[in-house]
Amino acid sequence: MDIEEQVELLMQGTEYGDEELTKAMANELRQRLLDAQKESRPLRVYCGFDPRTSDLHLGHTIPMRKLRQFQDLGHDVTFLIGTGTSMVGDPSDQDKLRAVLTKDQTEHNARTYAEQSYRILDREKTRVRFNHEWLLDLKLADLIKLGSAFTIQQFVSRENFKLRWDKGEPVYLHETFYALMQGYDAVALKTDVQVGGSDQLFNIITAGRKLQEMFGQRPQVGILLGILPGTDGVIRMSKSLGNHIPILAAPEDMYGKVMSLPDNVMPIYFKLVTRYMPDQIKAIESALTKQTRHPRDVKMELAREIVSIFHGDADAAKAEEHFKRVFQEREMPDEMPEYALQAGQTVVEVIMAASMAESKSKARSLIDQKGIKLDGQVIERDAPFPHPGVLQVGKRRFLRVK
């Protein structure tokens, strides 16, 4: 890849909430890549993970996928376990106080967390570090120095803190330490790039970069990634909400959960959790927009890819066959009315003759809504009936056309 192709790939799926900041980070990334090329050295890239659970779902894997892209381009990747920061708990995406984990709890979760990450990351190319190594050695003088870089207003104006403040709920002083601790991780690792979610903007862009400058380092590039919606297609993927897809799920279960996704979230899933390159994703988005591919077929491709990542190609193929056999064929009843096709009849005429719709306008409306299928394929327009087969009208009405 040339530098521009690398920038496009590494910025894929990013979300900053501000166009100017997006351009600034892309430009800084481009310059870092050029400088690294001139100096013949890899970029130092890391992402911090606070393992508050040992059971990972697809949402947890988004930054891992980005780290893998950096690995494949030859850069030095550190998988940082938040054994220090977890003792505080990240308040960034919380509207209430987060429970504090002990160092032992964090280390217990971290062992399985890191092992699961190797389903995406290259084990041989991944450095694993623990941030208690430096955070627990900080002295009071160090904390005073770190705290002097920020104002109280910067913290209380953050959305989640402000929400609790306005509701009269307590905001504890130790919660403000988290951004300082995460920012100091970047200093300790002398990082060029930090990967994280879009909810980490303050911790990565504001705190991390500012502290690096304070310590005489070049401020890191922040790669902030979009948040993955759950299987409901709306709310952030979460185990507690039950809208998650576990990465340890059986192939058939994982495939089925992906197939349950609403059509509109497919592009973000391709961008955030698959191995697809930018040009492949553009082609899929174009096909969906122009309706040259059926959303069901695109979703099956997505399901195959995701299952293949975690279970391999063979299991993905078996999961797809299982889905077709159990779910698609189950939709078709063993017995259904039959109709003898007359010469020249159109689709709408067959539907009306067989009393499968209340009116011609209703039948045409179903065609427009892609609710009419012949042998599982969507009929796009009212035209001469294509060929004998099983006609499906809506979800539950079937007709065997002879």
Query: Residue 28 and residue 370: Cα distance in Å, rounded?
Result: 46
What's the mean pLDDT in 214-229? 96
DSSP code for 261? S
| pLDDT band per the 50, 70, 90 thresholds, residue 93 | very low
| pLDDT band per the 50, 70, 90 thresholds, residue 98 | low
pLDDT tens track for 122-172:
999 999 998 989 998 999 999 999 999 898 888 877 777 778 878 888 888
Mean pLDDT across the chain, nearest whole number?
A: 89
| pLDDT band per the 50, 70, 90 thresholds, residue 95 | very low
Q: Which domains does the chain have, with CATH numbers?
A: 3-225 (3.40.50.620), 251-331 (1.10.240.10), 338-401 (3.10.290.10)
pLDDT of 268: 96
What is the token pair recorded at 229? 């919606």
Query: Residue 239 and residue 342: Cα distance in Å, rounded?
Result: 54
Which residues lie across from 391 on neighbouring strands? 374, 399
pLDDT over threshold 60, residue 101: yes
DSSP code for 37? H
What's the mean pLDDT in 176-190? 92
pLDDT of 86: 76
Kindly tell me the number of DSSP H helices and DSSP E strands found in the chain. Answer: 18, 10
Relative to beta strand 372-374, strand 377-378 is: antiparallel
**pLDDT, greater one: 27 or 89:** 27
**pLDDT, greater one: 182 or 329:** 182
The residue behind tokens 């690096």 is 212
Contacts of 391 (CB under 8 A, 6+ apart): 350, 351, 356, 372, 373, 374, 398, 399, 400, 401
Q: Between the ranges 2-6, 82-86, 372-376, where is the mean pLDDT highest?
A: 2-6
pLDDT over threshold 80, residue 104: no
Q: How many other CB atoms are found less than 10 A from the CB of residue 247? A: 23
**pLDDT, greater one: 163 or 282:** 282
- In three-state secondary structure terms, 15 is coil
The packing angle between helices 266-273 and 295-311, to 10°, is 20
pLDDT of 109: 76
The residue behind tokens 């299952």 is 307
pLDDT tens track for 284-336:
999 999 999 989 999 999 999 999 999 999 999 999 998 887 766 666 666 78
> Which residue type occupies 191?
T
Relative to beta strand 221-225, strand 372-374 is: unpaired
pLDDT tens track for 29-76:
999 999 999 999 999 999 998 776 667 899 999 999 999 999 999 999
CA distances from 305 to 168, 251, 273, 369 (A): 47, 11, 9, 28
pLDDT over threshold 60, residue 174: yes
What is the token pair recorded at 172? 């504890």
CA 158 to centroid of chain Cα atoms: 24
What's the mean pLDDT in 90-119? 68
**Burial of residue 98, with CB atoms counted within 10 A of its CB: 0-12 exposed, 13-18 middle, 19 or more buried:** middle
Q: Are 358 and 393 in contact (CB under 8 A)?
A: no
What's the mean pLDDT in 197-222? 95
What is the token pair recorded at 374? 């012949």
> Which residue type occupies 124?
E
Q: How many other CB atoms are found less than 10 A from the CB of residue 137? A: 9
CA distances from 168 to 16, 37, 39, 164, 235 (A): 29, 52, 53, 6, 26
- In three-state secondary structure terms, 397 is strand
Of the chain, the percentage scoring pLDDT greater than 70 comes to 93
Q: How many other CB atoms are found less than 10 A from the CB of residue 145? A: 15
What is the token pair recorded at 372? 């009419």
